[in-house]
């Protein structure tokens, strides 16, 4: 009698590129969640690592299982929540970095117009610098100079730059 079902004891062909979805490691959506022993105490933590990145974007506490010794296994719902949280952490970090590197102020001029002054910092280990740029109310560039990355942009410093004929401060 022939058997139409493969032998359950024989290994099946596995797709080597298939994402891992196990109790302590789960991959998908460009992320890997890895449940790890928490070095700080006897509990567990989960590390969220974005594909291609060397360090986790997020490490947080992970729930103990029912036996109070082993971690709760990862599942699709927990993983999706972790991906959403890790993406939010990255988004906030990028917003904070952008806010540190790009600032602007508005200066009212004597003729009733308004000048927007941008400070854009270019971080570089060897040659960091910043660019100070002035725009009129129509968005036309009025002037641009290179300044130190430590330049403090304020309404007062922008006004002084404008009043000095846009000469390098």
96 & 113 share domain: no
Q: 82 with 141, same domain? A: no
> 81 and 119 share a domain?
no
- pLDDT, tens digit, 9 for 90 and up, residues 23-66: 999 999 999 999 998 877 778 999 999 999 999 999 999 998 88
Q: Give residue 147's domain range.
A: 109-163
Indicate if 43 and 75 belong to the same structural domain.
yes
Residue 4 domain-assigned?
no
- Whether residues 67 and 119 fall in one domain: no
Side-by-side strand order, sheet with 25-28 = 25-28, 31-37, 44-50, 58-62
Instruction: Specify if 95 maps to a domain.
Output: yes
Question: Do 77 and 137 belong to one domain?
Answer: no
Residues 168 and 162 sit within 8 Å (Cβ to Cβ): no
Query: Do 29 and 96 lie in a common domain?
Result: yes
| Same domain as 122, residue 81 | no
Q: For 84, phi and psi rounded to 5 degrees?
A: -60, -45
Same structural domain for residues 155 and 115? yes
- Assess whether 93 and 151 both reside in one domain: no
The total of structural domains in the chain comes to 2
Question: Which token pair is 46?
Answer: 């989960």
Q: What is the pLDDT of residues 113-157, one digit of tens each?
A: 899 999 999 988 889 999 999 999 999 999 999 999 999 999 999
Band of pLDDT at residue 15, cut at 50, 70 and 90 = low
Report d(CA 90, CA 169) in Å as an integer: 35
Tell me, what's the pLDDT at 16? 61
Tell me the pTM: 0.66
Query: Is there a domain that residue 9 lies in?
Result: no
Are 140 and 161 in contact, with CB atoms under 8 Å apart?
no
Residues 81 and 38 in one domain: yes
Q: Are residues 30 and 66 in the same domain?
A: yes
Give the pairing type, strands 141-147 and 114-122. unpaired
Task: Name which of 113, 118, 149, 21 is nearest 76 in CA terms.
Answer: 21
C-alpha 41/C-alpha 14 separation (Å) is 37
């Amino acid at each position: 009698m022939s058997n139409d079902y493969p032998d359950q004891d024989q290994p099946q062909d596995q797709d080597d590129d298939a994402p891992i979805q196990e109790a302590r490691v789960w991959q998908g959506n460009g992320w890997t969640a890895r449940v790890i022993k928490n070095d700080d105490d006897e509990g567990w933590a989960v590390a969220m690592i974005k594909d291609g990145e060397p360090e986790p974007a997020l490490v947080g506490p992970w729930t103990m299982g029912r036996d109070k010794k082993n971690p709760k296994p990862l599942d699709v719902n927990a993983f999706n929540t972790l991906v959403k949280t890790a993406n939010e952490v990255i988004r906030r970090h990028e917003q904070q970095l952008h806010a540190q590197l790009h600032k602007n102020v508005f200066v009212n001029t004597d003729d009733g117009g308004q000048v927007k002054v941008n400070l854009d910092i270019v971080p570089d280990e060897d040659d960091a610098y910043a660019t100070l740029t002035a725009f009129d109310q129509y968005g036309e560039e009025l002037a641009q100079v290179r300044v130190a990355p430590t330049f403090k942009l304020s309404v007062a410093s922008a006004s002084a730059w404008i009043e000095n004929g846009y000469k390098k401060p």
